[in-house]
Structure 1
Amino acid sequence: MSAHALDHDLDDVATLARAALVREIDSSGAWDADPVWREAFEAVPRHLFVPYYYIGVVGGFERVWGQDPDPASRERWVRGAYADTPLATRVRDGVLVSSSSQPSLMAMMLTELGVRDGDAVLEIGAGTGYNAALLAHRLGDDLVTTIDLDPEITESARRHLATAGYHPTVVTGDGARGVPERAPFDRIIATCTLTSVPRPWLAQCNPGARILAPMATGLIALEVRDAGHAEGRFLHTPAYFVPLRGETRPGLPEPQQLSGLPRRVRSHELFRFLLNLTARSLDPYESYALWELENQPSRERYGITVSGDRSWAWLDDPEGPYAWPLP
C-alpha cells in the first residue's frame, strides 16, 4: 500500500476517533450549559496539535509520534490523540513542562467561561494551541489572544494553529503580566496553576469580565468589578495543571510535614485542596481542625476576593471567620 493511501486511512481513523471523543464528552455533560462548544470539538482536529506526545513508562517517557515509519505506531498515535486524557507534549530533563489538557476538562472549562459572541478572550498558557483553536473557531481569530513564556511553545502553537487553519494572536511573554496591547478582555482563561490572582489581569478586563483559572487543585471563577476588585467561588471540579511560570509569580510553598495527621486525611483529595489553599497561612494541623469542624467542606464552599492591594481566600463568606491572605 502506498504512503498516500496509508495517510488517507489515517485521516479516516482520525475522523472516527474525533467523533467518538465528541460522543464521550457529550455523555459526560461537560458542555450541557453551552452545547455550541460541541461544534468546535467536532471541527478542530486535535491530532494536528500533538504531532508527538509522551507516555509514561518505567524509568521515564516514551515518545509517540505521527511520523513514525511503522503504520501501526502512527495509528496508535492518532487514536491516542483523541483519547479523553491529558497528553504530555514537552518534557525537559525528565520533567513535564507542557501538556495538552484532558478534552472533557477543556470542554467544561470553556463552558464555564461563559463566552458570548463578540467577547475578547485572553488565554494564559498557549500549550499546543488546541484550546486557542477551539476559542477561535467559536469567536473568530481576531478576538482570541494566547500567551506563553516559552518561545518554543508559542512557535509550535502558532505552527499547529496555522496548519489547522486558525490565526489567533500568539504572544511570547510573562502571562502574569497579561497582554495590555490587546486589552480590554471580556474573558481570561488560564491553563496553568496560580498561587495568586495577577493584578494586571483585572486592569486589562472590562467590568463584568470573567476569569477562570486553576488554583490549589481547583478552578476559581472570578467576576471582575473593576481594575481593583474581583470575587468568585471555586467550581466543584478537581483540576491539576503545571504552575504558571514567570518573574512575577511567587515561589511555591515549601512541602508540609503531615506525619502527625491521620493517614486517611493525608491522602484525602479535598483536604489536599485545603492544604494548598492555606499553605502560606495555616499550618497543616490548623487546616485539619478546620476541615473536621466544618464537615470536610467541598470545593464550591471556598472562594477568593481581590480588593485593592489585598486578596484572600475564604470559606462560605468573604467576610466570615475563615479567611486566609493570598500572596
Structure 2
Amino acid sequence: MDGPGLDRALDDLAASARAAMVRAVEASGAFAADPRWREAFGAVPRHLFVPYYYVGAAGGAGGFERCWGESPDPRTRERWVRGAYEDTPLATRLRDGELLSSSSQPSLMALMLAELRVEPGDRVLEIGAGTGYNAALLSYRLGDDHVTTVDLDPEITESARRHLAAAGYRPTIVTGDGARGVPERAPFDRIIATCRLASVPRAWIAQCRPGALVLTPLATGLVALTVRDAGHAEGHFLHTPAYFVPLRGASRPAPEPAAPSGVPRRAGESDLFRFLLALTRGSLEPREAYALWEREGMPDRRRYGVTVGVRRAWAWLDEPEGPYAWPLPGSSGARLVEP
C-alpha cells in the first residue's frame, strides 16, 4: 500500500502504540507523583521526534542499524513506529560509534517530570535538548513561553527545533553550554537536566527563584534540590537509578568506574554499591566504600543527598553535617568526614 492510505495506517498505528505506551508507563508507577502528566504523554507524538534512531544489530555500523521513518520498505516504517513507542531509550545520534544523544526511556522521563512537581505559570529550564520530546511535553503542560531548552551542539538544537515545530510546539531553544544555564531567560522555577554531570553548576542555583526545584542526574542517580537562595540548594536522591549521556562542555564527568577490585563480588555487582562508588569517586577507595556500605546496611539512594553552597558542594549520607560527607568535583574548600 502506498500514498495517503499508508500515511493513515501509520497514523492509526502510532495512536494505538502511543496509547499502549502510556498504559505501560502508568503501570510502572512513573506518574504517581503527578498523574496529570498522563495526558501530555498521550497527546504528544513521540515518533515525530525520532524520524530515525539506531538499534543494535550484528553487521550494522558500530553494531547499530538505522531504523528510518522514510524507508521505502513499509515493513521498516511500521517497525520504526512501533519502536518509537516502546518504553525504552532510543539512540538518536552517533559519532564514531559513540552515543552523542538519545531519547530517554519514556517511563524515566515521566518519573522525572512528575517529580519536578510543576504548577501552572512555572518557568522551566531544560538542560539537554535531545530530540525535543521532553520540551514538547513541558510545553504541552505549561505553554511554550514557559519552557527553555539548551544544548551545546547546534545540530541537536536545530533538529529539536524542527521536530518541535512539526509537532506544533515552539519553546525557546538556545545553543550554548548547559552548565552555564540561560541567564537571559532567568529566573526559573524549575530546572531539569537530561544529561549526566560531575557536580551541580552554581550558575543553575543563581538563576532560580527561592523555593525552586532542580532535578538532575548525578553519579548513577537523580537528585532533587530545593533552592534556598541564589547561593544555596539542598536535597535527596530519588530511589531510581538513572544512566544518561554525559553533558558536553563544562563540568563533563569522568567515565563510569570500572569493576572495583578488592571487594566481594556481590558488592561489585550491586547497583547501589556502584552508585556509592560513583558518588564518592576521588574521596573513597573501593575498600573504604565497601566498609561504609556494609556498616550502614547497604543504604539505598534515598538516604543520600547533596548540598550546594557558595564556597563548597558536597554529597552526604543521612545528614548534610553528619559523619559521612564527600566533596563533589570542582568544589573548593569542601571537606571529607569519615568515622
- TM-score over 0.5 for the pair: yes
Who is 2:100 aligned against?
97
Within a 5 Å distance, the mapping from 1:163-174 to structure 2 comes to: 163-174=166-177
How far apart in 1 are the matches of 2:270 and 2:37?
Answer: 33
Q: Deviations over 1:129-182 (max 9, x none)?
A: 000000000000000000000111000000000000000000000000000000
- Aligned pair 1:130/2:133, yes or no? yes
Match of 2:323 among 318, 321, 324: 321
How far apart in 2 are the matches of 1:256 and 1:45?
Answer: 38
* Residue type of the alignment partner of 2:269: S
Who is 2:164 aligned against?
161
Who is 1:183 aligned against?
186
SS at match of 2:189: strand
Who is 1:265 aligned against?
267
Within a 5 Å distance, the mapping from 1:1-327 to structure 2 comes to: 1-58=1-58, 60-246=63-249, 248-252=250-254, 255=257, 258-327=260-329
How far apart in 1 are the matches of 2:259 and 2:169?
Answer: 48
- How far is 1:255 from its partner? 4.1
TM-score using structure 2 length? 0.94
* Residue type of the alignment partner of 2:27: S
- How far is 1:33 from its partner? 2.5
How far apart in 2 are the matches of 1:160 and 1:236?
Answer: 32
RMSD: 1.2
How far apart in 2 are the matches of 1:98 and 1:274?
Answer: 26
* Residue type of the alignment partner of 2:274: R
How far apart in 1 are the matches of 2:256 and 2:283?
Answer: 12
How far apart in 1 are the matches of 2:326 and 2:51?
Answer: 43
- How far is 1:257 from its partner? 6.9
CA contact (8 A) 2:246 2:253 kept: no
- How far is 1:194 from its partner? 1.3
Q: State the number of aligned residues.
A: 326
How far apart in 2 are the matches of 1:133 and 1:254?
Answer: 30
* Residue type of the alignment partner of 1:39: E
Unaligned ranges ≥5, structure 1: none
Structure 1 window deviating more from structure 2 (136-145 vs 284-293): it is 284-293
- How far is 1:7 from its partner? 1.2
* Residue type of the alignment partner of 1:326: L
CA contact (8 A) 1:253 1:279 kept: no
How far apart in 1 are the matches of 2:71 and 2:165?
Answer: 22
How far apart in 1 are the matches of 2:27 and 2:254?
Answer: 37
Determine what percentage of the aligned residue pairs are the same residue. Answer: 74
- How far is 1:82 from its partner? 0.3
CA contact (8 A) 2:125 2:148 kept: yes
How far apart in 2 are the matches of 1:160 and 1:117?
Answer: 24
* Residue type of the alignment partner of 2:206: A
Q: Deviations over 1:88-130 (max 9, x none)?
A: 0001101111000000110110000010000000000000000
CA contact (8 A) 1:253 1:280 kept: no
- How far is 1:24 from its partner? 1.1
SS at match of 2:306: strand
- How far is 1:26 from its partner? 1.5
* Residue type of the alignment partner of 1:142: D
CA contact (8 A) 1:256 1:284 kept: no
Unaligned ranges ≥5, structure 2: 330-339
How far apart in 1 are the matches of 2:204 and 2:109?
Answer: 21
TM-score using structure 1 length? 0.98
Change in Cα spacing, 1:235 to 1:251, as seen in structure 2 (3 Å) is: closer
Change in Cα spacing, 1:187 to 1:46, as seen in structure 2 (3 Å) is: same
Structure 1 window deviating more from structure 2 (50-59 vs 297-306): it is 50-59
CA contact (8 A) 2:197 2:253 kept: no
